[in-house]
């Protein structure tokens, strides 16, 4: 992100044009931050524009999906005008951007509600699923990676690596179906894919948006238990997709760190094993792990489309899936914008974390 | 690191004559034994899958696309080793026939992403400037989409079908190759062998094609194997959602979706999913093995 934007004056002909513009960056941290923000806004704008072009120019006319079959031309035109689809594409684009700046993402063709409201009402469900899955995935992933590296070449290491590869190679929607078939259909231990609560269960009064926490606050223990039961399988599937990549990078980072001279020196100074592992090796192995964790967060918040789909989880991923299936462009564009913002914010946080963890990246 | 300039000449150390022939056989054996176990396992699994795919093209116990070769929802066993699905098709025949589809869809999509991504990455890395800026911004934008959703969006927009699925999956997978080769080319651009090649009078594109790209291609190959595992999963995900290749033709993802409506008959979804699992595992193991081998050098 840092190596473009600023036009570097051409070097003299004698010098080969291989100097990187990175070295000429303005030093001030404020300028740097402004540049980053500008770059981020450019990316968000690019994402929004790309989606707009795909949805409004390349895609077939959505009117056929919105009016009853055999509707008259007048009726079709009325719907078109109602949705603002009767003006030219350029005009629509300008209107769309103008609305976007004021926070108006338009009205969903499918639900007939404001896309912003739709997204906000579905965010708690996604969060309730994503947060526990992320906690499990990150803790498990880092721990297994470190153990695997410390026990490199032993049986435990091989076992962890095999489990990791299988977890990565498993399509999540299939894992969800297999677990449902086992724990719901065959054993009957866990409830079916009906979303956040079984049919007829009492929805707790909203405080945090998480059914489990809200039910506990309201003292509805039965509801809390039911909500946890509904969570277990989708959460496990999601965590399975999160821990595996983290384990891989944590292992390779730790293996490299443990081979290094500073770790040998630390051992030679007589520091205890856990001090060396945690204080010296892990700290250095952490950078790629942070990047991978950011990937996990992005995945859990946006990419868990099929997990939510399989479990009937009424979150943002399912909303996006339905929007794709119904050619619901405002909903889709809203989701894409939401995802792009999450990605951009996460990248910025990763940059920040890198510069905190590794002073060499601060230059 | 590999030698900067590949010289197509005989091994200079080996003296001519009969003495040179003797170590050939054991050397080859050792070469196989010295490979990382992950690479060997992955290759073995891949050979097995390719053979399975080939067999599925020539012979299946029943016509994979014909409904009603047995009663619907038959349990595995008897004539139908993997049972039958809701239409009474033979799940074993379908799974076998689908191996070919998923395997070659994945390979073709990865090949396209590899070639196009490498060309763009090499251009961006070597010439820099505005071409680099444009290409990298485009990559950033592409990577700010959730990959699976982008694929879904594009296939839905362009319409399902074989070609569209391949093109879209290749497009979504492009940024990885692009970034990797760009980084490799940028790093090697300032090395002495590049200067030497330029001073010898080679043109820019020639230096890039003959020296920089061949020297930086190895990480891309390991990446391609890992990426292929991901592509296999995305291809089947598209089939699962119902926007994959034309409906009716055997494909693992759409077979899994077929079993969703009848949760009592686990076998309809289980076996095609195992196929994806095996294919993706094979690719991951090969990718890991290649990385391990690079690390050992």
Round to whole Å and give the CA distance between B72 and B50.
30
- Residue with the bigger pLDDT between A87 and B236: it is B236
| Cα–Cα nearest to B239, from B143, B98, B83, B52 | B98
Q: Which domains does chain B have, with CATH numbers?
A: 38-52+83-296 (1.10.3720.10)
B131 interface with A at CB cutoff 8 Å: no
Write down the pLDDT at residue B107: 95
Give the nearest partner residue to B152 out of A51, A185, A324, using CB atoms: A324
Q: Say whether B281 and A166 touch across the interface (CB within 8 A).
A: yes
**A67 Ramachandran zone, left/alpha/beta (phi>0; psi -120 to 50):** beta
Q: Say whether B266 and A47 touch across the interface (CB within 8 A).
A: no
- Residue with the bigger pLDDT between B221 and A84: it is B221
Dihedral sign for Cα B83, B87, B90, B91, please: negative
* Contacts with B, A 181-200, CB within 8 Å: 181-182, 184-186
Q: Complex ipTM, two decimals?
A: 0.83
Neighboring chain B residues of A340 at a CB cutoff of 8 Å: 144-145
pLDDT tens digits, B252-267: 988 888 888 887 888 8
Distances (CA, A) of B42 to A167, A185, B98, B282: 16, 34, 20, 4
> Please, what is the angle between helix A329-357 and helix A283-298, to 10°?
170
Round to whole Å and give the CA distance between A72 and A68.
9
Q: Say whether B137 and A168 touch across the interface (CB within 8 A).
A: no
Round to whole Å and give the CA distance between A153 and A134.
28
Which span out of A27-41, A68-82, A259-273, B28-42 was modeled with the highest average pLDDT?
A: A259-273
pTM above 0.90, yes or no: no
DSSP state of A9: P
Distances (CA, A) of B134 to A27, A200, B54, B121, B178: 24, 54, 43, 12, 13
| Cα–Cα nearest to B43, from B293, B219, B237 | B293
Q: From B262, which residue of chain A is nearest by alpha-carbon distance?
A: A181
- Residue with the bigger pLDDT between B17 and A33: it is A33
Q: Say whether A168 and B229 touch across the interface (CB within 8 A).
A: yes
DSSP state of A274: H
| Cα–Cα nearest to A173, from B105, B178, B124, B260 | B260
- Whether residue A27 has pLDDT greater than 70: no
Dihedral sign for Cα A45, A49, A50, A55, please: positive
Q: Which domains does chain A have, with CATH numbers?
A: 39-101 (no CATH), 124-362 (1.10.3720.10)
pLDDT tens digits, A60-76: 677 766 777 777 778 77
pLDDT tens digits, B55-110: 988 888 888 888 878 888 888 887 888 888 888 888 898 899 999 989 999 999 99
CB B240 within 8 A of CB A173: yes
B254 interface with A at CB cutoff 8 Å: no
Query: DSSP letters of B204-228?
Result: HHHHIIIIIHHHH-HHHHHHHHHHH
CA distance B229 to chain A (A): 7
Round to whole Å and give the CA distance between A15 and A271.
50
Q: Say whether B146 and A302 touch across the interface (CB within 8 A).
A: yes
- Residue with the bigger pLDDT between A70 and A11: it is A70
């Amino acid at each position: 992100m840092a190596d473009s934007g600023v036009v570097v004056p051409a070097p003299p002909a004698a010098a080969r044009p291989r100097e990187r513009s990175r070295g000429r960056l303005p030093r001030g941290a404020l300028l740097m931050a402004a540049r980053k923000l500008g770059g981020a806004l450019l990316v968000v704008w690019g994402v929004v524009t790309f989606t707009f072009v795909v949805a409004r120019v390349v895609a077939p006319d959505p009117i056929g999906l919105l009016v009853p079959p055999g509707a008259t031309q007048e009726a079709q035109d009325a719907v078109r005008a109602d949705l603002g689809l009767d003006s030219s594409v350029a005009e629509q684009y300008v209107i769309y951007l103008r609305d976007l700046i004021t926070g108006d993402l338009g009205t969903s063709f499918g639900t007939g509600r404001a896309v912003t409201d739709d997204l906000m009402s579905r965010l708690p469900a996604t969060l309730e699923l994503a947060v526990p899955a992320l906690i499990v995935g990150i803790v498990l992933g880092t721990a297994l990676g470190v153990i695997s590296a410390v026990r490199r070449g032993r049986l435990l290491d091989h076992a962890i690596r095999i489990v990791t590869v299988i977890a990565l190679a498993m399509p999540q929607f299939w894992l969800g179906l297999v677990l449902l078939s086992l724990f719901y259909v065959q054993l009957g231990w866990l409830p079916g894919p009906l979303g956040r609560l079984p049919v007829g269960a009492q929805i707790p009064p909203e405080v945090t948006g998480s059914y489990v926490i809200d039910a506990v606050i309201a003292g509805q223990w039965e509801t809390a238990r039911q909500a946890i039961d509904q969570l277990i399988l989708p959460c496990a599937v999601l965590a399975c997709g999160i821990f595996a990549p983290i384990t891989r990078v944590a292992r390779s980072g730790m293996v490299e760190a443990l081979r290094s001279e500073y770790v040998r020196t630390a051992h030679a100074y007589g520091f205890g094993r856990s001090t060396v592992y945690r204080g010296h090796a892990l700290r250095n192995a952490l950078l790629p792990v942070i990047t991978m964790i950011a990937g996990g967060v992005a995945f859990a918040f946006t990419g868990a489309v099929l997990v939510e789909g399989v479990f009937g989880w009424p979150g943002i991923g399912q909303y996006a899936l339905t929007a794709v299936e119904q050619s619901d462009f405002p909903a889709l564009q809203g989701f894409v914008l939401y995802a792009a913002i999450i990605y951009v914010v996460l990248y910025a946080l990763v940059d920040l974390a890198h510069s905190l963890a590794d002073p060499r990246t601060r230059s | 690191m590999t030698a900067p300039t590949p010289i197509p000449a005989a091994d200079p150390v080996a003296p001519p004559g009969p003495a040179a022939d003797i170590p050939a056989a054991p050397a080859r054996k050792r070469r196989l034994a010295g490979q990382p176990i992950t690479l060997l396992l992955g290759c073995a699994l891949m050979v097995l899958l390719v053979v399975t795919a080939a067999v599925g093209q020539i012979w299946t116990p029943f016509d994979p696309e014909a409904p009603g070769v047995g009663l619907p929802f038959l349990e595995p066993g008897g004539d139908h080793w993997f049972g039958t699905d809701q239409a009474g098709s033979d799940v074993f025949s379908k799974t076998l026939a689908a191996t070919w589809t998923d395997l070659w869809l994945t390979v073709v999509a990865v090949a396209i992403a590899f070639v196009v991504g490498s060309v763009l990455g090499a251009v961006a890395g070597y010439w820099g400037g505005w071409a680099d800026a444009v290409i990298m911004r485009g990559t950033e934008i592409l990577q700010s989409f959730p990959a699976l959703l982008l694929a879904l969006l594009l296939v839905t927009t362009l319409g399902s079908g074989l070609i569209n699925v391949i093109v879209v999956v290749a497009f979504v997978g492009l940024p990885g190759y692009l970034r990797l080769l760009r980084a490799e080319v940028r790093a090697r651009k300032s090395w002495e062998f590049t200067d030497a090649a330029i001073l010898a009078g080679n043109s820019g594109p020639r230096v890039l094609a003959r020296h920089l790209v061949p020297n930086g291609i190895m990480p891309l190959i390991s990446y391609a194997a890992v990426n292929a595992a991901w592509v296999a999963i995305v291809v089947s995900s598209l089939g699962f959602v119902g926007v994959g290749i034309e409906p009716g033709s055997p494909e693992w993802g759409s077979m899994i979706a077929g079993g969703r409506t009848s949760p009592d008959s686990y076998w309809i979804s289980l076996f095609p999913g195992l196929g994806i699992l095996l294919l993706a595992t094979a690719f991951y193991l090969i990718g890991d093995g290649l990385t391990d081998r690079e690390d050992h050098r």
